[in-house]
Structure 1
Amino acid sequence: MIASRVALGVMRIDALDAAAAARTVSTAAESGIDYFDTADIYGFHVHELHASSRRFGQAWKDAGLNRDKIFIQTKFGIDFRFGDGGARGYDFTAKHLLDALDAELAALQTDYVDAVLLHRIDTLFELDQVAEAFDKLESSGKVRHFGVSNMGPWQIELLQSGLRQKLEINQLQFGLMHTQMLDAEIHFNVNDDPAADRTGGILPYSRLKHMTIQAWCPFQSDTEYGPFVGNAHFPELNAELDKLAAKYDSTPNGIAVAWMLRHPAGIQPLLGSMNPDRIRQMAAGADVDLSREDWWDLYRAAGNKLI
């Protein structure tokens, strides 16, 4: 797929009114973002399935975007019921996937999505059920590309063994304060970091398989303190972000995005902000080419250690 290096996740767009949603989507497009991500369960502000997709579906039209010029991606596979305990389990049966996708298309006001991802893993999944759903979605023209989220190499290999479609995308949490994939490589065969045992080698696997890693919640800290940019709980990291923002004529938000894009794996940051100013700053990070030294300085400033 050819799309912007930075994408916008619209999970929280259901909290905006129609005018604000259109401004947010328009700002993203004006900032060079043509890739938008949602999911059937998103609607946590109004407590309704498909609510974020429905708001986005109207917003991209109100913003005057050309459907053929934007990439819309959704996710499915979680059995989620508002007002009934939330997540009830996972469901990769063909019926659930097909019904969920049809409801998403209606909400998004389009007859196809550019990509759909299995939303985490259904440990009870049957390959023939997933294959049936994917074949019908592809042959009907409702889905053009397929992927997964939050899965490791062996989960992907098992799924891929029964599918005709190549799994092209894996959505994983990654950012300056979520560096487990990097830590596992750096601390391999070292006893000081158990992260080496948790990632399954997903980073080199993704590069070998030419799978795009989409980084979700890339601005969240790995603590209860929330976003790390401008957060007093992370003085060393913010000092380094400020220094590099001045050096590259950018912003701390832009530098944090540039740090992810600098990795040769071709990671696609998935922005979650609904603030137009922050979206502009983050998207501008695609124009910053960090040096190798500056990349490592940020990694260390985020609290990561080298051997």
Structure 2
Amino acid sequence: MSSGLIYGCMGLGRWDGEALDAADRARAEAAVEAALAAGITRFDHADIYGHGTAEAVFGAVLAQAPGLRDRIQIQSKCGIRLGTADSPQMYDLRAHTVRARVHESLERLGTGHLDLLLLHRPDPLTPPEEIGAVLTALHDEGVVHAVGVSNMSAVQITALQRHTGPRLVANQLEMGLHRRAWLEGAVLVNTPASAEVGFPHGTVEHCRAEGIELQAWGALANGRFTGLPQDPGDEAVADLLRRLAEDQGTTPETVLLWWLQQHPAGVVPVIGTTSPERIASCSGAVDGSARLSHEEWYGLWVTARGGQLP
């Protein structure tokens, strides 16, 4: 897989249950064009995004751009079943469900295969033997070219890999300067605060050791550090990002993404904004070459956590 950035398509669809209209298609086309112009060629979906409309509108964009499918990589996720008036939200990785959801995604996207299929959340009720068997079958059939997971720990990945023929190549986790449990857990070992972190210790290290790509959803923190602060502490981070961006001749969004990319685990941020201008502001991180000093990187971390490291 290539490095750089992934464009997250969750915001392209409609969550209100209404049908897609011309404005939705125009917005999706503008976002995809901005991502391509920035050099992004990997696009992240899930069957539940916009209740399927994110994949559908992306498929409409593909249909209007002959040859585009051959120039990009498409990944999608399955495994979450949203709740209804008659059913609770649940996770469902049973073989027949995974197979059905993958083919539904392919139909909406208008493509014959997924470059990568991710399991969206663990399903504790379905045995890993069953999950691994359907992943292997879909891979062998050429329906999915690679398989991975999302929101799973090292132990869960190891258990699933025992029953899956193709290697699990990616794990998508919430990672960023705002959601730092993945990082805090690595330095709070043997401190009272360790129990408060909650992130499964060793997951990042396992993925790096096994060559499993770490994809970071929520990388831009919904803009809280780059224009949409949500608490007073955000302003201090925003100020530091602006100063670093000015020094480097780039944008605060790029510096924020550099912070993730600089980790030796090779984190690949997923950006989900639908604003063409904001997508363009991330273009300095597409090549994956972070340019922060050791001191600058730690300075952002300490500022975001609002206190010194132990």
Cα distance in 2 between the residues matched to 1:242 and 1:143: 41
2:49 match: secondary structure: coil
Cα distance in 2 between the residues matched to 1:39 and 1:87: 19
Residues 170, 212 of structure 2: 8 Å contact kept: yes
Q: 1:78 to 1:118 in 2, by over 3 A?
A: same
Residues 76, 117 of structure 2: 8 Å contact kept: yes
Aligned to 1:276: 276
Cα distance in 2 between the residues matched to 1:267 and 1:186: 18
Aligned to 2:295: 293
Cα distance in 2 between the residues matched to 1:138 and 1:51: 25
Residues 133, 163 of structure 2: 8 Å contact kept: no
Report which stretch shifted further, 237-246 or 17-26: 17-26
Aligned to 1:230: 227
Residues 37, 74 of structure 1: 8 Å contact kept: yes
Q: 1:61 to 1:123 in 2, by over 3 A?
A: same
Cα distance in 2 between the residues matched to 1:125 and 1:197: 24
Residues 28, 279 of structure 1: 8 Å contact kept: yes
Aligned to 2:20: none
The TM-score with structure 2 as length reference comes to 0.90
- Is 2:250 aligned against 1:242? no
* 1:250 to partner: Cα distance: 0.8
Q: Deviations over 1:221-272 (max 9, x none)?
A: 7xxxx73322443121011101101000011111101111111111010001
Residues 254, 282 of structure 1: 8 Å contact kept: yes
Equivalent of residue 62 in structure 1, options 61, 64, 72: 64
Identity of aligned residues (%): 31
Q: 1:147 to 1:158 in 2, by over 3 A?
A: same
2:89 match: secondary structure: strand
2:282 match: secondary structure: helix
* 1:110 to partner: Cα distance: 0.2
Residues 171, 215 of structure 2: 8 Å contact kept: yes
* 1:59 to partner: Cα distance: 1.8
Aligned to 2:4: 5
Q: 1:122 to 1:292 in 2, by over 3 A?
A: same
Aligned to 2:78: 76
Cα distance in 1 between the residues matched to 2:188 and 2:194: 6
The TM-score with structure 1 as length reference comes to 0.90
| Alignment map for 1:11-22 (pairs within 5 Å) | 11-15=10-14, 17-22=24-29
Cα distance in 2 between the residues matched to 1:164 and 1:139: 9
Q: 1:210 to 1:87 in 2, by over 3 A?
A: farther
Q: 1:177 to 1:186 in 2, by over 3 A?
A: same
2:295 match: secondary structure: helix
Residues 186, 201 of structure 2: 8 Å contact kept: no
Unaligned runs of 5+ in 1: 44-48
2:13 match: secondary structure: helix
Aligned to 1:103: 104
Q: 1:33 to 1:230 in 2, by over 3 A?
A: same
Q: 1:95 to 1:274 in 2, by over 3 A?
A: same
Cα distance in 1 between the residues matched to 2:129 and 2:183: 34
Cα distance in 1 between the residues matched to 2:88 and 2:122: 13
Cα RMSD (Å) of the superposition? 1.9
Cα distance in 1 between the residues matched to 2:124 and 2:206: 21
Cα distance in 1 between the residues matched to 2:292 and 2:63: 36
How many matched pairs?
296
Unaligned runs of 5+ in 2: 15-22
